[in-house]
Amino acid sequence: MNLHFASMVDDDPSAYPRKRSSVIFLCGCPLKCGFCCRPELLDTSSCGEEPTSFFSRHFAETKPEAVVFAGGEPLMQGNALHELCMILAKQQRVSVKIDTCGYYPDALADLLPFLSYVSLDIKTRLKQNDYAEMTGFEGNPELLLSNVLRSLAFLEKLGSHVFKEFRFTIVEGKNDDAEIAESVAKYVAPYCDRFLVVADDRNNALPIAQACRKHVQNVALRTPQAEEKVF
């Protein structure tokens, strides 16, 4: 099976905590978020394509401690990803992390046995019309939210062995309300290992991150300048 990818970065010191990692940026995404940090990855036609064996051979040679799949939306290529992750986790004994928007719950569930870290991006409050508007989703809003909620349920029920991080990116005028972020943190609190708030402006974001701290013990705030633990 082939993977559509944009680039691959070896020896990344920060993509996976405390592990020397390689990062593969995969192409394609079902969402059209106006605040996407990598909009060039939405369309697979602009990306390269290689068989999974190309990547497994590469990592057998470079021997990273971890491999991170970012996007785009990696689970859009669930079957090929499953094939590669199985080799990485079972044969090469590499820690595997995936970044996801949660739109493909069944692919996530199939992949969980081979993962050690999942970072799921929750865009706004978990209400279907709000979620569809925030993500520019052109399909059925009920399906979108249902898929995200099923992904969260799979992480709760099947992901006890996985480090579970939930990201909340603050977008001015869209979801920059402490009540919104706090409602998300409260929802995932029973199984959240880390809640990461991402923002451009620390002064505006810190009170929002502190509101999330009411429900999740491990909260961090990431800005262009730094990343800090929130107390």
Instruction: Sketch the domain layout of the chain as residue ranges.
Output: 2-161
Distance CA(75)–CA(4), nearest Å, equals: 12
150-178 average pLDDT score: 97
What is the separation, in whole angstroms, between the first and last Cα of the chain?
46
Closest CA to 71 of 48, 44, 99: 99
Question: What type of residue sits at position 227?
Answer: E
φ and ψ of 175, to 5 deg: -135, 20
pLDDT of residue 74: 97
77-105 average pLDDT score: 97
pLDDT tens, position by position, 100-150: 999 999 999 999 999 999 999 999 999 999 999 999 999 999 999 999 999
Containing 36, the helix (H) or strand (E) segment is: none
Asked: is 2-161 a CATH 1.20.210.10 domain? The reply is: no
Helix then strand count (H, E) for the chain reads: 7, 10
Q: What percent of the chain has pLDDT over 90?
A: 93
> Nearest 5°: CA angle at 120, between 36 and 184?
95
Weakest mean pLDDT among 44-48, 88-92, 139-143, 166-170? 44-48
Nearby residues of 92 by Cβ (< 8 Å), 6 or more positions away: 56, 59, 60
Q: How confident is the model at residue 31 (pLDDT cuts 50, 70, 90)?
A: very high
57-78 average pLDDT score: 96
Mean pLDDT, rounded, of the chain? 96
Q: Which two tokens stand for residue 184?
A: 């998300």
182-201 average pLDDT score: 98
pTM of this structure? 0.95
